[in-house]
A and B are shown apart, each in its own frame.
Chain A
Amino acid sequence: MVVLWENIVISILAFGVLYVLLHKFAFGKLFAIMEQRRELVINQIDEASKTREQAHVYVEEQKQALNQARQEAHDIIERSRQTSNKQAEQIVELAKEEADRIKVDALRDIESEKNKAVAELRSELGSVSVRIASKLIEREVNNDKAQEELVDQYLKEVGGRP
């Protein structure tokens, strides 16, 4: 086996030239791209985890909103039920009052009609009794005043015993 120093020199040169060429024209770019890819992957992983967290927060918010809406609906139903109950009571109350009022009015009407009838009857009775009396005691009682007083006195006695 012969070792040729010329071959050693040639191979060193060849290797050196190849190293420089590769370093300059191939590997530099490749390393840069790989670095970029690494950053891209890191960014994407970061973003994904961030998005997941956000989604989690959103779900929680949605849940809370749903619960709140349910609570509100419940409240509204409860409130409307109370309101309707109250209104019904009010209506009944009003109706009762109205009925009472109508009853009282009716009673008062009856009373006044009665009084009116009594007064009418009284004046009728007065004139009739006067006529009877005048027939009985013609000319003896001419004075109107005395006649009235007499009638009132009789009527009081009559009214006192209904």
Chain B
Amino acid sequence: MHDSPIIDLGGFRLDLSAVIMLLVTGIIVFVLARLAVRNLSVENPSKLQNFMEWVVEFVQGIVASAMDLKKGKPYISLGLTLITFIFVANVLGLPFAIITDLPADFTVFGQTIEATRGLHDGHMAHVLWWKSPTADISVTAGLAIVVFFLMNYLGLKLNRKHYLKHYIEPFPVFLPLNIIENLAKPVALAIRLFANIFAGEVLITVILKMGYYGIPFLAVWQGFSIFIGALQAFIFTILTMVYIAQTTIHEEDAH
């Protein structure tokens, strides 16, 4: 098992790998989006603009499948950010990983990396720097918490009466069950995304141990992992939209 490059900043355990990877992901997504909207044109769109418009229409389709598109318009930006961010994050770990063997008491920015603290001489800590940020359950938990907060906040703000009433339906006895259901949503979101991507990276590591014989398997698995990455991004986005639709939109004939 690889260790994370964590430095302790007065009680705040900063995971350098997570910071770097989130930064890289964010920069890639933002630069791609900026390139796509650099030379916007109504008459003669560039290829990148066409691609970006296709993505937007895809997300519009996702939102429309969960709720009325008129009500769902503000969420298109959210869905776009989610799907591009998660997809880029998922595939970042596929081409390579960067692992360094660090000696005891290795320091970065004058801070000792926790994993190397107190190692005996001759022992090395395997520190994983470059990986998919979504292969870290803390990151997927962060995304899921954003969704959890959003769906409950929007439910309270736009649909308070029915949102609250939903907790004691069909009978008040169901209150704990409904609360658990609500809490299970972000947990499921976080674990699903994390487990898929983490398992993919673990399998890549395993295949690499096979040496040259593993090359065809690796090629197949890399391709499949791209598919998994896209699929998980899609699932995360559509579930987010479904959850938001569930809490914010009250359909008269639904009950």
Contact = CB atoms under 8 A, between A and B. Distances in A.
B18 A11 contact: yes
B192 to A, nearest CB: 15
B13 A4 contact: yes
A4 B77 contact: no
Contacts, number: 116
Contact of A10 (B15, B43, B81, B140): B15
Interface string A19-51: 101110111011101101100100000000000
B14 A6 contact: yes
A15 B142 contact: yes
B127 interface: no
A15 B143 contact: yes
Nearest to B33: A26
Interface in B46-99: 49, 52-53, 56, 76-78, 80-81, 84-85
Nearest to B53: A34
Interface residues of B, number: 44
Contact of A11 (B22, B45, B49): B22
Chain A interface, DSSP helix/strand/loop, else mixed: helix
A42 to B, nearest CB: 13
B146 A12 contact: yes
A37 B56 CA distance: 14
Chain B interface, DSSP helix/strand/loop, else mixed: helix
A17 B141 CA distance: 17
Contact of B23 (A14, A29, A30): A14
B173 interface: no
Size category, A interface: 20 to 34
B138 A26 contact: no
Nearest to A35: B42
Interface in B139-153: 139-143, 145-146
A11 B138 contact: yes
Contacts of A3: 137-138, 141
Contact of B22 (A14, A21, A26, A37): A14
A47 to B, nearest CB: 15
B12 A27 contact: no
Interface of A: 1, 3-12, 14-19, 21-23, 25-27, 29-31, 33-34, 36-37, 40
5 contacts: A7-B142, A17-B26, A18-B30, A22-B84, A27-B56
